[in-house]
Amino acid sequence: QVQLQESDPGLVKDSQTLSVTCTVSGGSITTSPYYWTWIRQPPGKGLEWVGSIDWRGSIYYGPGDKSRTSISRDIFKNQFTLQLSSVTPEDTAVYYCARGELLPSRGFTIDEYAYRGQGTQVTVSS
């Protein structure tokens, strides 16, 4: 059984870098053909696709600000990490990591991701 668990960055100050790591157990992040994805949900808003890294290490970005987004992985620790630089209070959200067989499409729902973390609340203080 694949399990995903986000780290808990908690409170991040405005203009700093947010870093969230997803630890995967029960399966390797190098197994084809999976996309390891970051999703977030700001308060009172819908789901947003932040970005993904696939089993080969290729990176895909969501429709947001790519210049602030960095996704990496550590295959030895079986982890993948999201870093978001120069954060503002608009980056406050619940951040989820998830495994999918496809990249998120328009209007995707969290239920499409059977394998996902429980989500971690990240608050950016102004």
Interval 20-27 mean pLDDT: 98
91 φ/ψ angles, rounded to the nearest 5 degrees: -90, 0
Q: Which residue has 């973390």 as its token pair?
A: 117
The 10s digit of each residue's pLDDT in 77-95 is: 999 999 999 999 999 999 9
Q: What is the pLDDT of residue 126?
A: 84
CB 35, CB 101: distance < 8 Å: yes
| Helix/strand/coil for 29 | coil
Amino acid at 5: Q
The 10s digit of each residue's pLDDT in 41-73 is: 999 999 999 999 999 999 999 998 899 999 999
Q: What is the pLDDT of residue 17?
A: 97
Res. 13: pLDDT tops 90: yes
Res. 107: pLDDT tops 90: no
Cα 80 to Cα 89: distance, rounded to the nearest angstrom = 24
Q: What is the mean pLDDT of the chain?
A: 96
